[in-house]
Amino acid sequence: MRTITLEQLGSILAGFDANPRVFASGNFATPYTLLNAVDQALPEYRLHMLNAHGDLPRRDGVTYETAFIGPAMRFPDTHYIPARLSLVPLLLKTQYRPDIVLIQTSPKRHDTVSLGIECNVIPAAIEAVREHGGLVIAQANPQMPYTYGDAQIYEVGISYAGRSYAEGKKSGWKDGVSAMRCLVKYSWQERSVRHRG
């Protein structure tokens, strides 16, 4: 793993071919600092996220694609992939193979980092991008819990790591309240739909 600055990241990304596929952690583990750096460096790209939240780059040249639409990607032009979550790893190895994977991780412990709260298909995305020589770029977050199992990544699997979490967006208590509100709202809607059926 090589630690770099955002300026160095911009020059690395400038070497990519037109319209690469960028897979980023979704849910509440989006690496916003890295995502903004990608947006500044690449004139056009496809952004693939699951359950995207927050402020994502929205401009000409950015194409959204997802198998699980979150509030930040609810637009008519989002490319929706109708697939079960269990099929997404296969899709990432074939039709939707990423060129760049952006992740948010815990700080390094010995020779590993952890994906913490966002481990659903990220290991498959990392495996797919490494198979064809793409980049895995991590943003360390001291508030990300260190979880084990598939969430652990040996640092050799990460191409570059951002220099400082202070440069990124921190999740605060307001983000937690917002997440709980969404969970309650959507679980209540789901229950009411099931009971009507």
Fold (topology level) of 2-169: Glutaconate Coenzyme A-transferase (3.40.1080)
Predicted local confidence at residue 160, as pLDDT:
63
pLDDT > 90 fraction of the chain, expressed in percent and rounded: 56
User: For 99, which DSSP code?
Assistant: S
pTM metric for this prediction: 0.79
Q: Residues 93-120: pLDDT tens digits?
A: 999 999 999 999 998 888 889 999 998 8
Give the C-alpha separation, 112 to 149, whole Å: 12
Mean pLDDT over 127-132 rounds to 91
Mean pLDDT over 24-46 rounds to 94
Mean pLDDT over 161-183 rounds to 58
pLDDT tier at 167 (50, 70, 90 boundaries)? very low
Backbone angles phi, psi at 139, to 5 degrees: -115, 115
Strand partners, 62: 45
Number of neighbouring beta carbons within 10 Å of residue 52: 24
> Phi-psi bin for 149: left (phi > 0), alpha (psi -120 to 50), beta?
left
Domain ranges, ordered by start, for the chain: 2-169
Predicted local confidence at residue 185, as pLDDT:
66
Tell whether the model's pLDDT for residue 196 goes beyond 60.
no
Buried b (16+ CB within 10 A) or exposed e, 64-84: bbbbbbbebbeeeebeebeee
